[in-house]
Structure 1
Amino acid sequence: MPFARLATATTPTAHLGLGLAAVGRPGYITLDRAADLGEGHDRTVENLRTRTHELLDAAYAQGVRYIDAARSYGRSEEFLADWLKSRPDVTDVVVGSKWGYTYTAGWTTDAERHEVKDHSLAAYERQRAETDAILGDRLDLYQIHSVTPDSPALTDKDLHARLAEAAAQGVTVGFSTSGPRQADAVRAALAVTVDGEPLFRTVQSTYNILETSAGPALAEAHDAGLTVIVKEGMANGRLAAPHAPEPLRAVAEETGLGCDAVALAFVLRQSWTGVVLSGAATTVQLASNLHAAAVDLTDDQLARLTPLAETPEAYWQHRSALPWH
């Protein structure tokens, strides 16, 4: 498995990854996006390509070795592939992408629909071909994007067979989850087998100070041998300094680091965590996020942060109301 390379990494930030959702397309649901990216011409394809490359350079220089893209993240795969081609000496990064959503916003921020979900075998075949055309043999991990308990991807035997073929050819097969029933989706995916062998080797789920409901299921996945990747550790900006709840602000002040570093350190503290993604849109944000590796939260500090968790229903209702901007 490609993530075995991270197990022996010596850099403190090896278990922090960079997700490209916020910079691969002009619109996203992260708070304060206008301050991060500017408006209008600041979000051209070439400007976001340049920004992505700057982030990748900074991440790599600071020890980050996992990069996460998706077919629905605009041109994220293209930007990443361009960067890899321009850095032939970079051979030790783990590259992950996802299929199952199609980007439909047409490089705008006000589209009626920004992405369309389709977990069918036909969608996999189409998007796998698209990813292969861009990333080629640099693709290490291919994940089903945002599996929910009712996803046909959990029951489609023909799809499972094709995914098993990809695994036999050297691509690690994983899945991501979203929604208030993440734990159910994780457990259902753990039960998927092909010829008696578990199909999935990684799981990527939302977990943060405000949304901890998937924790027990992710621990089960870890115990079953899956690498656990955590996304949205900053709750789409809700845990950043301008919006962070007071207990998080207080703990951050005690550590002398930012609310973002503390929020990501909270996730790193979980025994089952393999990789925690930074969704930074600027190199300053990235540097601050990576300080999470230096935060050593005390039991008292963890106890003060734990009560901030919301019900999954409340959390995901709030998230679904965030505007694309």
Structure 2
Amino acid sequence: MSKTKMGLGLAALGRPEYINIRDGIIPNKTLVAFRENAFSVLNFAYKQGIRYFDTAPSYGKGEQFLTNWNSKYQHMDVILSTKWGYTYVADWELGFSGAHEVKEHSLDKLIEQWQISKKLQPALNIYQVHSTTFESGVLENKDVLNQLYEIKKQTGLQIGITTSGLNQTEIIEAALKIQIKKEDLFDSYQVTYNILEQASYDILKHLLQLKKTVIIKEALANGRIFKNEKFSHYQKLYDVLDALAKKHQVGTDAIAIRFVMDNLEPTYLLSGASSKEQLEQNMKAQNFKLKKEELALLKLFKTAPKDYWEERNELVWN
């Protein structure tokens, strides 16, 4: 029904607090409980047919959970991806007042984190620069780029970038130009795209035409597609999503996910579910298809990128 395959991201599974609008249910936030839940959701995802799993060192214990799960079950058909460039520093402290993760796109950080991340092999398929920006200088750091190329040649991995923010398109355009020994360095691009943030559509379609791997994150706009009194300016969108959800007998999450699948047709779309119940609801997006007029209606709700990212930056960790 769709070219897009669903995957599972561990951003919310690996740490007790995350930038998301939660449903009011407060989970047990002990490390033991999170590990048990992560394994439970990973096993459920696999049984439901999901084969792509994405993590990062900055996802709390997310990379460790995925490594341990992968070592225990040794599924031969999973595709794993991880990242480098951010370090988790909140140390499981609830209500941590500072930045929960710290960016460092240095050669030393790449070498340090690769030594741990490579334990995900041989199931590891994609290795990504985490949250690529012009400010970090990573796209101009020849030592880092050459090291990534060496990892690519030694392992056969796809090397990718993830990007967020106002200038996603410009960052992708810059990354596309990077070649080493007349070979494109980057094969994979993980990007935010959803009903509210559609600015990267043209460049993402171009990537797909180039046979690059396109991975979509934050398809639910960090929970902003769900009815919330704090976001009254989305009331018309909520009404449309509610009507479509009733028509297709799914939740609004499935409508938002299906919009990305049908409108963009990326390689993968990541669910950020933190429970089996959420994942089950997300996966209902695979059971129907939106009509052209329904897609056209949802496309009308795109926001100005500046407004979208300013609003996202104001979301709190909870």
Give yes or no for the alignment of 1:32 onto 2:18.
Answer: no
Specify the code of the residue in structure 1 equivalent to 2:259.
F
Q: Distance in 1 between matches of 2:174 and 2:40?
A: 39
| TM-score relative to the length of structure 1 | 0.91
Query: 1:153-176 deviations in whole A, cap 9, x for unaligned?
Result: 111111111111111122221110
Aligned to 1:282: 275
Q: With CA pairs under 8 Å and 6+ residues apart, which has the higher RCO, 1 or 2? A: 2
Q: What residue is the counterpart of 1:19 in the other structure?
A: 9
Deviation, structure 1 residue 245? 2.0
Within 5 A, what are the aligned runs for 1:39-78? Answer: 42-78=28-64
Q: Would you say 1:221 and 2:211 are equivalent positions?
A: no
Matches within 5 A, 1:73-222: 73-88=59-74, 90-111=75-96, 112-132=98-118, 134-169=119-154, 170-222=156-208
**Does 1:250 find its partner at 2:243?**
yes
> Percent of aligned pairs with the same residue?
38
Q: 1:62 to 1:198 in 2, by over 3 A?
A: same
Structure 1: gaps spanning 5 or more residues: 1-10
Distance in structure 2 (CA, Å) of the matches to 1:246 and 1:298: 18
Cα offset, 1:299, TM superposition: 1.2
CA distance in 2, matches of 1:211, 1:308: 9
TM-score, normalised to structure 2, is: 0.93
State the Cα distance separating 1:120 from its structure 2 match.
1.5
Contact kept, 8 Å, 1:13 with 1:290, in 2: the verdict is: no
Matches within 5 A, 1:236-275: 236-240=222-226, 245-275=238-268
Matched residue SS, 1:92: coil
CA-CA distance at 1:82 after TM superposition: 1.5
Residue of structure 1 in register with 2:233 after alignment:
none
What is the aligned residue count? 309
Deviation of the 1:148 alpha carbon: 2.1
Contact 2:9-2:271 within 8 A present in 1 as well: yes
Task: State whether structure 2 residue 311 is matched by structure 1 residue 321.
Answer: no
Distance 2:261 2:116 in 1: 33
Deviations 1:131-156 (A, max 9, x none): 22x42433221100111233411111
CA contact (8 A) 2:196 2:303 kept: yes
Using the TM superposition, give the Cα deviation of residue 130 of structure 1 relative to its aligned residue in structure 2, in angstroms: 2.3
User: Which amino acid in 1 is paired with 2:60?
Assistant: G
CA drift at 1:224: 1.9
Give the distance between the partners of 2:179 and 2:144, measured in 1 at CA: 12
Give the distance between the partners of 2:136 and 2:210, measured in 1 at CA: 22
Alpha carbons 2:2, 2:262 under 8 Å: kept: no
Cα contact 2:87–2:101 (8 A) shared by 1:
yes
**C-alpha distance in 1 between matches for 2:257 and 2:115:** 34
